[in-house]
């Protein structure tokens, strides 16, 4: 239970039209696996237990890997068209059950039902996208310099993939990886975030219904044994790739554990996104962009603005407009239709937000909207002015609803300050000067740039970071590359 009593004490959970989507077992070889050792999953808004799932260990993970390895032998031989058809059916099943899946997502993660519906559609879009990529896994022919030889390449699936997921997008982070893996011909063993296993399990129920063959998709739920489960996935030689989304600290550990078997690696890690507002920006658009980028998921997305830099000429006006909008937000349970922002995931997240706020205020920052913990896992969306580089928010990802506003004077200065971080996931800026738009886009050290845009995520576009924010790209025409090897064939003796 949460340390502090929540100000939301009770709520009516909407009834699922199809209650069989709510599963409380792990999923291996298309079978539901129970275990006497279980862990509880809480509604982060009330602290009440939603249910319990098996606490799987290294041995059970090994069994799931064996199953995935067996299934790989046949799944990898299917045609792109067969994989297309199954992914498309899975996409259709998700969209047909959007409301139930959104209800499960809100219940375990806390985001509002509107956001959860959006995540289900966003998550499903990766299956539609990768269904269409499965039939376009083209190789190449290479003009040969040798008269009696022909050169060509084909793409082949890497093998069974170990997937470890965060709590903040229980559906979309899964589908962004699983869509690419299945399209390429790989099988998967997934460890969902311990706070949010039910979305992953509901997707498995749909996978089984639409005919994804046994062993292609497997889910092991784990809490107490998570380090052992992770180690098994990273060291087992039958797992050929690790795909992780989560914090940079855990990503580095998994990468080092995977080195012994030289696995292919995808890492979608933490960020510290700068959001820059230049004097020449459309200020209202910049305010809307900052609200969307900073407060999506109550500040718990890896691409959330973390450091908001505003040029001195528009600083006061921007701060006033942003604070007025933030003061209108309604914090509450995600199932309440009036709620604009749900709770944080747990008490540790609240403590981090409080620590960042206290640190800023103790060094001279001023709260101009919000600023209070509301009990349980709730924290008011907050705007703080007078931020300086010695404050924790300048260096650390808050992963919560504090918009800290820093002031700057010149373009050269702000590029240097924006890039002065080991992270490089997303970066945003607002300007109406077309020359500046090019210059700044090119100079920001990040995998993704929002130039006059606060929401950048899409299945059509490559998602990923540079520096310590990760390796690889998800979604887009590049997403499947992380799950294939390129094989060169030299045909001689012509």
Ligand X SMILES: NC(=O)c1ccc[n+]([C@@H]2O[C@H](COP(=O)([O-])OP(=O)(O)OC[C@H]3O[C@@H](n4cnc5c(N)ncnc54)[C@H](O)[C@@H]3O)[C@@H](O)[C@H]2O)c1
Among residues 51 and 462, whose Cβ is nearest to ligand X?
A: 462
Spatial contact of 428 and 296, defined as CB atoms under 8 Å apart: no
Among residues 173 and 331, whose Cβ is nearest to ligand X?
A: 173
Among residues 107 and 318, whose Cβ is nearest to ligand X?
A: 107
| 322/401 Cα distance (integer angstroms) | 13
Q: Which stretch binds ligand O=CCCC(=O)O (CB under 6 A): 286-294, 299-307, 401-409, 477-485?
A: 299-307
Tell me which of 257, 301, 398, 469 binds ligand O=CCCC(=O)O, using CB under 6 A.
301
Q: Segment 420-459, which members bind ligand O=CCCC(=O)O (CB under 6 A)? A: 457
Residue 300 Cβ, how far from ligand X at the closest point, in Å?
7
Terminal CA-to-CA distance of the chain, rounded, Å? 72
Residue 457 touches which of ligand X, ligand O=CCCC(=O)O, none (Cβ within 5-8 Å per kind): ligand O=CCCC(=O)O
Q: Which stretch binds ligand X (CB under 6 A): 76-84, 127-135, 262-270, 451-459?
A: 262-270
Spatial CB neighbours of 155, under 8 Å, sequence gap ≥ 6: 137, 138, 139, 184, 480, 484, 485, 486, 487
Nearest to 459 by CA among 104, 178, 240: 178
Q: Segment 323-362, which members bind ligand O=CCCC(=O)O (CB under 6 A)? A: none
Count of residues in contact with ligand O=CCCC(=O)O, rule CB under 6 A: 8
Phi-psi region of 409 (alpha: psi -120 to 50; beta: other; left: phi over 0): alpha
Please report how many Cα atoms fall inside a 13 Å half-sphere around the Cα of residue 358, on the Cβ side: 7
Which H or E run includes 226? helix 226-235
Among residues 230 and 450, whose Cβ is nearest to ligand X?
A: 230
Residue 478 Cβ, how far from ligand X at the closest point, in Å?
14
**447-455 long-range Cβ contacts below 8 angstroms, 24+ apart:** 447/473, 448/303, 450/289, 450/293, 450/426, 452/281, 452/282, 452/285, 452/289, 453/289, 453/428, 454/275, 454/288, 454/289, 454/290, 454/291, 454/292, 454/293, 454/305, 454/428, 455/289, 455/292, 455/293, 455/296
Q: Tell whether residue 293 is a contact of ligand O=CCCC(=O)O (CB under 6 A).
A: no
Nearest to 387 by CA among 369, 410, 361: 361
Structure tokens at 126: 């990766």
| 13/406 Cα distance (integer angstroms) | 41
Among residues 84 and 296, whose Cβ is nearest to ligand O=CCCC(=O)O?
A: 296
Q: Tell whether residue 199 is a contact of ligand X (CB under 6 A).
A: no
Among residues 100 and 468, whose Cβ is nearest to ligand X?
A: 468
Q: Tell whether residue 245 is a contact of ligand X (CB under 6 A).
A: yes
Spatial CB neighbours of 59, under 8 Å, sequence gap ≥ 6: none
Spatial contact of 271 and 305, defined as CB atoms under 8 Å apart: no
Q: Segment 431-470, which members bind ligand X (CB under 6 A)? A: 465, 470
Tell me which of 47, 270, 381, 475 binds ligand X, using CB under 6 A.
270
Residue 364 Cβ, how far from ligand X at the closest point, in Å?
27
Q: Segment 157-196, which members bind ligand O=CCCC(=O)O (CB under 6 A)? A: 168-169, 172
Nearest to 272 by CA among 296, 248, 308, 307: 307
Identify the three-state secondary structure at position 189: strand
Q: Tell whether residue 303 is a contact of ligand O=CCCC(=O)O (CB under 6 A).
A: yes
Q: Tell whether residue 302 is a contact of ligand O=CCCC(=O)O (CB under 6 A).
A: yes
Tell me which of 111, 117, 191, 296 binds ligand X, using CB under 6 A.
191
| 177/154 Cα distance (integer angstroms) | 21
Spatial contact of 388 and 410, defined as CB atoms under 8 Å apart: no
Q: Which stretch binds ligand X (CB under 6 A): 153-161, 213-221, 240-248, 335-343?
A: 240-248
- Quick note: the x/- pattern for ligand X over 331-370, rule CB under 6 A, is ----------------------------------------
Q: Tell whether residue 162 is a contact of ligand X (CB under 6 A).
A: no
Tell me which of 399, 406, 408, 429 binds ligand X, using CB under 6 A.
399
Spatial contact of 89 and 211, defined as CB atoms under 8 Å apart: yes
Q: Which stretch binds ligand X (CB under 6 A): 19-27, 109-117, 148-156, 265-273?
A: 265-273
Beta strands (DSSP E) in 81-212 are 140-142, 150-157, 161-164, 188-191
Q: Tell whether residue 129 is a contact of ligand O=CCCC(=O)O (CB under 6 A).
A: no
Residue among 60, 108, 195, 268 flagged as catalytic: 268
Clarify whether 268 is annotated catalytic.
yes
Nearest to 236 by CA among 224, 220, 247: 220
Binding site for ligand X (CB under 6 A): 164-168, 173, 191, 193-194, 226-227, 230, 245-247, 250, 253-254, 268-271, 302, 397, 399, 425, 465, 470
- Name the residues annotated as catalytic: 268
Binding site for ligand O=CCCC(=O)O (CB under 6 A): 168-169, 172, 301-303, 457, 463
């Amino acid at each position: 239970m949460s340390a502090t009593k929540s100000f939301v004490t009770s709520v009516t959970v909407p009834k699922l039209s199809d209650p069989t989507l709510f599963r409380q077992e792990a999923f291996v070889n298309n079978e539901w696996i129970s275990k006497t050792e279980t862990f509880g999953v809480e509604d982060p808004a009330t602290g009440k237990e939603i249910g319990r799932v098996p606490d799987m260990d290294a041995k059970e993970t090994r069994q799931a890997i064996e199953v995935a390895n067996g299934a790989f032998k046949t799944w990898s031989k299917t045609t792109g068209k067969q994989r297309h058809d199954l992914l498309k059916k899975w996409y259709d099943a998700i969209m047909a059950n959007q409301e139930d899946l959104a209800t499960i997502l809100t219940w375990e993660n806390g985001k509002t039902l509107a956001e959860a519906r959006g995540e289900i559609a966003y998550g499903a879009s990766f299956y539609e996208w990768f269904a269409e990529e499965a039939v376009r896994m083209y190789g190449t022919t290479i003009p040969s310099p040798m008269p009696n030889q022909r050169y060509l390449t084909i793409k082949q699936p890497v093998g069974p993939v170990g997937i470890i997921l965060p709590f903040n997008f229980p559906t979309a982070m899964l589908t962004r990886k699983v869509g690419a893996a299945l399209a390429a011909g790989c099988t998967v063993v997934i460890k969902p975030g311990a706070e949010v296993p039910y979305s992953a399990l509901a997707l498995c129920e749909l996978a089984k219904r639409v005919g994804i063959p046994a062993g292609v998709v497997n889910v092991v739920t784990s809490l107490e044994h998570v380090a052992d489960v992770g180690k098994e996935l990273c060291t087992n030689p039958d797992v050929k790739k690790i795909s992780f989304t989560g914090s940079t600290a855990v990503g580095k550990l998994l990468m080092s554990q995977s080195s012994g078997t030289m696995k292919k690696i995808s890492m979608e890690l933490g960020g510290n996104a700068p959001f820059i507002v230049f004097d020449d920006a459309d200020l209202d658009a910049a305010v809307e962009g900052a609200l969307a980028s900073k407060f999506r998921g109550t500040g718990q997305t890896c691409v959330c603005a973390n450091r908001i830099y505003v040029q001195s000429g528009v600083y006061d006006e921007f701060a006033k407009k942003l604070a007025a909008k933030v003061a209108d937000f309604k914090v509450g349970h995600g199932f309440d239709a009036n709620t604009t922002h749900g709770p944080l995931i747990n008490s540790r997240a609240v403590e981090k937000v409080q620590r960042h706020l206290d640190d800023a205020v103790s060094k001279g920052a001023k709260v101009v909207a919000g600023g209070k913990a509301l009990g349980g896992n709730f924290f008011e969306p907050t705007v703080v002015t007078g931020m300086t580089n010695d404050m924790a928010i300048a260096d650390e990802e808050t992963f919560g609803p504090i918009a800290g506003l820093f002031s700057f004077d010149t373009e050269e200065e702000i590029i240097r300050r924006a890039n002065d971080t080991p992270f490089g996931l997303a970066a945003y800026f607002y300007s109406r000067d077309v020359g500046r738009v090019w210059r700044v886009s090119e100079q920001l050290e990040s995998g993704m740039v929002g130039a006059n845009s606060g929401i950048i995520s899409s299945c059509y576009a490559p998602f990923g970071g540079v520096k310590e924010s990760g390796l690889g790209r998800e979604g887009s025409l590049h997403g499947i590359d992380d799950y294939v090897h390129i094989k060169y064939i030299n045909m001689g003796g012509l």
